[in-house]
Structure formats: C-alpha cells, structure tokens
Amino acid sequence: MEQTFFKFDTHGYLNTLAVGAYLFKKALETEDPALSVYRKLYNFLKFGNYPAGLTFPIEFYIYDGNKKREVMEIRWPSSFLISTGVRDIFQQEGLTGWQPYDVIVKDKHGETVPGYCGFSVTGRWHTVFPVEGETPDFYHTEYVVPGALLCTQRVIDVLRKYKLRDFTVTPCILVDNDGFGNHHTS
C-alpha cells in the first residue's frame, strides 16, 4: 500500500540571507542556567511551543548570504523567517496550522531590515497522512518524519497561485511493504 504526503521547506540556497537569534547565541555562550532553555530556541519557534518568559519580538542578525528572498534561512532544520508578503498571502488564503511571530532583523551594520516575521507550524496530526477537512494545512507529526514540516495539497495550490518559488514541497511515499505494518518511506 502506498500513500503520499508532502514535506514543506525552503530551497535552502546558500546565498539566501541567513539569520541567527541573539538569544540563541547568548544561550550557547554563557553558563547562565536561566538562559540554558534557549539552546532549544529554534525548535520552540519552529513548532510554536514558546517557553514561559519568552518575549517578542525575537531579535535576529544577518550573518551570511547576500540574496534577499521571500524567506530568510535560520539554517536549522526546517526553520526560517518569511516575508510579511507571504504572511499576508497565507492569512488571506486562510491556511491553517501555522502562526507568525514578531521579529526584528538587523543587517551586518546594525540597521533594521523590515518586512519579515517568524513562521511556526502549530498544526499537529496523529498520523502522517492528511484527512480532507480535518488536517491543518501545515502540520507536523512524530509518526514517520520527526521534526519535518508537512503540508496539504491546499498549500501547494496557494504556492502555485501566487508563484511563491522560495519553498519546496517534496512528495514522499509511505510504503507498507513488510507485511507487519511497519512503514518505510521512499
């Protein structure tokens, strides 16, 4: 039996502007136990599991890349910022299972780069496969692809409609081929 689902991410181009969070950097550089929770900051932001006491906006700094796109790479698996234009499209189209968060992005000279927000996937699903009308448009599951961002066909349709090319949607096929109910991804 084969079923298809879709992984959602960015292209990950190395010339795309890449950002890091000051709070994450500070947590790695200090022994302060109060900051140690922020060593997991990118995972918290990626899935919208914000720890108590985290304040917004989150401050980011550009540390690499030279190409401004609809995304800014965090260079942490499936973690990125999106332009406010993409945010507006996703909201206008009523896509579910995600939320923006406020950010401040500083360039290499300390100047603010406007027009970006964070992107958290808050949708959860108990299996990897979407069920029409029940599954959030963006979701994640620990069932088969731990940590991956997944999406429905509706997201693909919105990306095509607005010609948003800074994202990748990869069809994955789950194959049950061992006769014991163990699933294998191809």
pLDDT in tens, 63-73: 999 999 999 99
Of residues 7 and 181, which shows the higher confidence score? 7
Using the CB atoms, write b or e for 114-150: b if 16+ within 10 Å.
eebbbbbbebebeebebeeeebbbbbbbeebbeebbb
Distance, in Å, from the CA atom of 66 to the CA atom of 145, rounded to the nearest integer, reads: 31
Is the confidence at residue 180, as pLDDT, over 50? no
**What confidence category does residue 176 fall into, taking pLDDT thresholds of 50, 70 and 90?**
low
Handedness of CA 157, 160, 162, 166 (dihedral sign): positive
**pLDDT level of residue 174 (50, 70, 90 thresholds):** low
Q: What are 19's strand-pairing partners?
A: 62
Instruction: Taking residues 16-29, report their average pLDDT.
Output: 95
**C-alpha span between 78 and 90 (Å, rounded):** 18
pLDDT, tens digit (0-9, with 9 covering 90-100), for 150-171: 999 999 999 999 999 999 999 9
pLDDT at 3: 64
Mean per-residue pLDDT, 23-50: 93
* One-character DSSP codes across 140-154: B-SSSSTT--EE-HH
List, for residues 84-131, the tens digit of each pLDDT value: 999 999 999 999 999 999 999 999 999 999 999 999 999 998 776 777
38, 23 Cβ separation under 8 angstroms:
yes
Q: Average model confidence (pLDDT) for the chain?
A: 89
pLDDT digits (tens, 9 = 90+) for 130-156: 777 788 999 998 776 778 899 999 999
The dihedral built from the CA positions of residue 6, 97, 85 and 53, taken in this order, carries a sign that is negative
Alpha-carbon gap, residue 127 to 3, rounded angstroms: 12
Q: What per-residue confidence (pLDDT) applies to 12?
A: 92
Residues 88, 84, 134, 154: what is their CA dihedral angle, to the nearest 10 degrees?
70
Does the pTM surpass 0.85? The reply is: yes
Give the closest residue to 78 by CA, choosing from 29, 177, 11, 4.
11
Report the C-alpha gap between 131 and 147 in whole angstroms.
20
